[in-house]
């Protein structure tokens, strides 16, 4: 009876911020995550050379560029200002102070150039995930601030960062699952069967690599695998089906720490298979999975603690962190 009452009380206590299974991230874990993500953001800010020319009309305005003129950002001086703000925001983001402001500033700094880059009729899926995670973190931190009071706007708090990390994991998982679902929707469920045409894509990617700078890509294992796949359609189906499973199964990122680790490793392995067989890189996606899902700092501390027998219980580690 008392057990039932206790369970019920726990259920009643759950609020908007309680996400099952609730992981309480320690301050040092979220600090490592912020450090890793800020490093990724700083190093992957789009180059001005990769954006449309300053005098060029946007042929296919995308996102907010449909309604707001963002072309001012293509001037070198404006770009430099945005990049400088981004740099300062990265530092503030790592410290954890004024987190809603730092994450929002980073989101805006990335939103402007990346929207412009996608406004010439070609969609790059290079920055989307990073910017979506920033958007989620900014939104989550503002919701937290409004719910908990304005003091949290400037104060760093383990609970806030723990909450935004849980939200980040949800958005990461949601987008991977959506990627798998879109494959099933667009291909009308025939994605696995149609993957037998993958060698055509490989050939196209190879030629595109060449025409980038007129540099031949040396033959690699991908060439051999695709030559084999042309005569053996089952091979492509076998090679790419785990990719679809990894995407749809990304929901397991939310099942707890160990699930997040192994699902993250599985997703990185999927990216590696695509890199070998298709010459496509997913460096940023992999980095985000390592940072938020695999959470190497936690497992390193856990292993050390276990080796030294100072308390291998995950909950003890979390409590120590707090």
Partner 1 sequence: MSFITTTLKSPWLLRARDLVVHLLKYWPWFVFSMVIGHMTKENFPFSHWPMYADFAKNVDYVFFEDKQGQPVPAYIFRETSARLKRQFNSERKREFKELREKNPDREMRPALEKQSVENAALLMTERLGQRLTEKQQAQYEEMRMIRVVLSYDEDNRIKRDRFDGQYISLADLPHAPEGTEVPPLPPQPLPDNAEGSEEEGAE
CA 66 and chain centroid, separation: 25
Q: Verify binding: residue 287, partner 1, rule CB under 8 A.
A: no
Name the residue nearer to partner 1 (CB basis): 180 or 297: 180
CB 99 within 8 A of CB 38: no
Query: Which stretch, 30-38, 193-201, 261-269, 306-314, contacts partner 1 (CB under 8 A)?
Result: 193-201
Name the residue nearer to partner 1 (CB basis): 205 or 305: 205
Give long-range contacts, CB 8 A cutoff, 24+ apart: 278-281.
Answer: 278/198, 278/201, 278/202, 278/205, 278/222, 279/202, 279/205, 279/206, 279/209, 279/217, 279/220, 279/222, 280/205
Smallest gap from residue 318 Cβ to partner 1 (A): 19
Q: Verify binding: residue 118, partner 1, rule CB under 8 A.
A: yes
Name the residue nearer to partner 1 (CB basis): 118 or 263: 118
| Alpha carbon distance 118, 255 (integer Å) | 34
Q: Verify binding: residue 279, partner 1, rule CB under 8 A.
A: yes
Smallest gap from residue 303 Cβ to partner 1 (A): 29
Q: By CB under 8 A, what part of segment 15-34 binds partner 1?
A: 16, 18-20
Name beta bridge partners: 120.
60
Question: DSSP H helical segments within the chain, as ranges?
Answer: 2-13, 27-43, 76-95, 99-117, 128-148, 158-186, 191-194, 198-213, 221-231, 233-248, 257-278, 283-288, 296-308, 314-321
Name the residue nearer to partner 1 (CB basis): 135 or 294: 135
Q: By CB under 8 A, what part of segment 139-158 binds partner 1?
A: 140
Q: Which of 127, 235, 292, 302 binds partner 1 (CB under 8 A)?
A: 127
Q: By CB under 8 A, what part of segment 216-255 binds partner 1?
A: 217-218, 230-231, 251, 254
Q: Verify binding: residue 162, partner 1, rule CB under 8 A.
A: no
Smallest gap from residue 19 Cβ to partner 1 (A): 5
| Alpha carbon distance 274, 278 (integer Å) | 5
Q: By CB under 8 A, what part of segment 65-104 binds partner 1?
A: none
CB 255 within 8 A of CB 21: yes
- Token readout for 13 is 């206590």
Q: By CB under 8 A, what part of segment 194-213 binds partner 1?
A: 194-201, 203-205, 207-213
């Amino acid at each position: 009876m008392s057990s039932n009452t206790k369970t019920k009380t726990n259920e009643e206590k759950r609020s908007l911020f309680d996400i099952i299974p609730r992981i309480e991230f320690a301050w040092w874990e979220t600090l490592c995550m912020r450090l890793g993500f800020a490093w990724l953001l700083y190093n992957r800010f789009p180059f001005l050379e990769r954006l449309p020319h300053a005098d060029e009309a946007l042929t296919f305005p995308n996102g907010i560029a449909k309604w707001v003129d963002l072309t001012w950002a293509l001037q070198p001086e404006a770009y430099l200002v945005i990049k400088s703000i981004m740099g300062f925001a990265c530092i503030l983001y790592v410290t954890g102070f004024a987190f809603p402001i730092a994450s929002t500033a980073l989101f805006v700094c990335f939103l402007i150039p990346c929207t412009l880059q996608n406004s010439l009729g070609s969609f790059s899926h290079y920055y989307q995930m990073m910017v979506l995670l920033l958007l989620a973190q900014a939104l989550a931190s503002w919701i937290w601030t409004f719910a908990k009071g304005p003091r949290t706007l400037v104060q760093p708090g383990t609970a806030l960062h723990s909450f935004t990390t849980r939200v980040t994991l949800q958005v990461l998982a949601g987008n991977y699952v959506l990627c798998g679902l879109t494959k099933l929707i667009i291909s009308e469920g025939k994605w696995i069967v149609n993957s037998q045409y993958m060698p055509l894509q490989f050939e196209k990617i190879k030629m595109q690599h060449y025409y980038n700078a007129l540099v031949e890509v040396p033959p690699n294992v991908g060439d051999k695998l695709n030559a084999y796949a042309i005569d053996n359609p089952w091979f492509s189906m076998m090679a790419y089906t785990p990719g679809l499973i990894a995407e749809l199964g990304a929901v397991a990122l939310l099942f707890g720490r160990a699930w997040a680790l192994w699902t993250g490793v599985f997703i990185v392995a999927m990216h590696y298979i695509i890199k070998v067989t298709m010459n496509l890189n997913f460096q940023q996606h992999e980095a985000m999975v390592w940072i938020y899902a695999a959470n190497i700092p936690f497992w390193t501390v856990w292993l050390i603690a276990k080796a030294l027998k100072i308390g291998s219980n995950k909950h003890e580690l979390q409590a120590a962190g707090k």
